[in-house]
Structure 1
């Protein structure tokens, strides 16, 4: 986050009016990728300071997957991979796989040079990161993960861990820009917390002291769900309220966006109202009315990490900046693999405090 804010301050210093117009998705995606690589892979990518081929490939893959779903002949691999879009898809996959493979191989080389036992000793008193656990995992017979399985896990965590969180953060900032009264209330809460601290850095215990900011984040995740739908296979017959049966084995698409915008569940569902998530207003609500990270045994494995990152980024951003709507831009939802904004999510950003 400090790197992101430093970039914004540099841009503001270069313009006379001190206010800049930024595409939140562009900037926040680089920041979340940088954070994920550092927190889960202990890898310093420096991706915020230079163009990211990986981010560009992720954007292209998201668009191509949606296009493929909407064109029936391309559901056949033999047809799709001969098409122009199919070749673009393969090239983008190669970029993504090379990026994650380079991260994995760098750590594998370090492990090989030090040896597993020496590596584990060096980690004593520290938390092992995600890639350590994957590389050191063994089954009952002492076999580790194959390269194929390892890459599948890393690719999933890398993509899901940065892109969805970037969507969530960007839409929170957009909703607070549209509702300055809520943004000001969040900033008051954050500023009061920071004034009571000796340092200007957020710590774990601070996150529980931001109740209104958390309510604003949850309402944004409801209104603009980063993941709009999920697929689940029924493991038994499911009886619907009207008596119809979904047979065992059928794959169902569960619309998270539809659930979050259902007027039978949410009053005035298109209205941004963070007070929906006041504890008193949440008591009578179904536990499955709000499912931004899915629910049940196959819910998002990284939801705690994601919520923590969103809170920290929003708090640090609102403490030092004011975000405002750019009236010259029209913001329209664009559902792909995640919820994006058509032609970018542009906001005006004004500095309130310098970096300390």
Structure 2
């Protein structure tokens, strides 16, 4: 290579180096200014000292169990800042009055849709949860519960101690598959269902783990990491399960004909409505939209309900006097429990009270999030500007929140759970049929340790001792 060519190449390298350095400096300045903006925005919300790079990552690990969180709640009333890493922060809110201010806003959510899209989807799907649709579901729920209880009866004949989260998860998946997707098989005996539930559990753990790591926030880095690859595999399993459900229904609907013909034979369920909405207007719901809605409803619908049922049964096991009072109410209404109907569910006032109290103490979804599109001012005058990327909300009913037990954030929300009545009916059916067949007691050697997550779970599972009622 000639001297001029070398000089030219050297000059290009110098220019490239200068441009790279300039871009690096600009990015560093951008991050610095963003951090300064965050520091100013969060100065009204004290928090424990944080590292300039990895924020409160260490505290994240220490607070995986709920008891350590109590110390922070007591030290920083109403709300506190939490730094995820150097340029990303959120505000944890655990005061009911604070919660009302934030939850009254419209925003992203069915779980994560923006406001207008959410209202359109909600209006479209609401008919799937009309009372006339929900009434016959009670019988389907009872059949799924009886399958689970029959298995428990066989197991406790050998050992009265039983871990209940796994079986309850299979039962709730079985129920939602039969009710919302008209599935004819049994998820409790299908091996694919167990792998689907495991994939959902893996995804929850991986997502929550990523939220707690300062070094896995970049999408490219995450996809290349072992956790990222595991997350992709779990997503594939979930999507494969969902795609099978959708394809089976499409095939069935092709045989049944047009929507009006189907309506004459039966009520449209959740999946029918999604698919017919797309058939009537091809631009309304794409295949991706349909799968996203099914993924959301199937995963959230069975998992949060399974958590709620498991903790309700544990709460009843821990309070035998209330358990017995519920049992007497149910026996007086159902007798031997061979038949339970929609009408029975409104005739057991005390049992739902116990269910709701257990859900207050052990909320299945202990925290939710919001992104601020507008400034917000809290009752005590503290405020947050628009542009805050996350506001973490700790449900005030958590027993460790230190808040008054009567406080409820729910009524302040402009959205409620589309499947709330469905889930409550399922909980009533499970509690009623379980208490007719078994006496429940906690396993003193394995007291559950609640831990944070997308869904409230126990570090060591939920173990009960069951005794068959003669």
Superimposed CA distance per residue, residues 335-355 of structure 1 (whole angstroms, 9 cap, x where no aligned partner): 2210111121111111115xx
Q: Distance in 2 between matches of 1:295 and 1:98?
A: 38
> Which residue number in structure 2 is paired with residue 189 of structure 1?
329
Is 1:206 equivalent to 2:344 in the alignment? Answer: yes
> Which residue number in structure 1 is paired with residue 360 of structure 2?
222
Q: Distance in 2 between matches of 1:110 and 1:261?
A: 49
For the structure 1 residues 260 and 125, does the alpha-carbon distance in structure 2 shift closer, same or farther, using more than 3 Å as the test? farther
Please, what TM-score do these two structures have when normalized by structure 2? 0.65
Give the counterpart of 1:254 among 393, 398, 406: 393
Is 1:8 equivalent to 2:116 in the alignment? Answer: no
> Which residue number in structure 1 is paired with residue 196 of structure 2?
54
Q: Distance in 2 between matches of 1:76 and 1:328?
A: 42
> Which residue number in structure 1 is paired with residue 275 of structure 2?
135
Residue pairs, 1:81-160, within 5 angstroms: 81-117=223-259, 120-124=260-264, 126-138=266-278, 143-160=283-300
Please, what TM-score do these two structures have when normalized by structure 1? 0.85
How many angstroms does 1:127 deviate by? 1.9
For the structure 1 residues 154 and 141, does the alpha-carbon distance in structure 2 shift closer, same or farther, using more than 3 Å as the test? closer
Q: Distance in 1 between matches of 2:400 and 2:347?
A: 29
Q: Distance in 1 between matches of 2:343 and 2:255?
A: 38
Give the counterpart of 2:458 among 341, 348, 351: 341
Q: Distance in 2 between matches of 1:2 and 1:222?
A: 27
Superimposed CA distance per residue, residues 126-171 of structure 1 (whole angstroms, 9 cap, x where no aligned partner): 3211000000015995645211000000000001100000000000
For the structure 1 residues 107 and 82, does the alpha-carbon distance in structure 2 shift closer, same or farther, using more than 3 Å as the test? same
Structure 1 residues without counterparts, runs of 5 or longer: 267-284
For the structure 1 residues 12 and 286, does the alpha-carbon distance in structure 2 shift closer, same or farther, using more than 3 Å as the test? closer
Q: Is residue 443–residue 465 contact of structure 2 (8 Å, CA) maintained in 1? A: yes
Is 1:263 equivalent to 2:402 in the alignment? Answer: yes
Q: Distance in 1 between matches of 2:380 and 2:318?
A: 40
How many angstroms does 1:243 deviate by? 1.1
Q: Find the structure with the greater CA-based Rg.
A: 2
Is 1:298 equivalent to 2:410 in the alignment? Answer: no
Q: Secondary structure at the match of 1:123?
A: helix
How many angstroms does 1:11 deviate by? 2.2
Runs of 4+ in 1 over 6 A off after TM superposition: none
> Number of residue pairs matched?
323
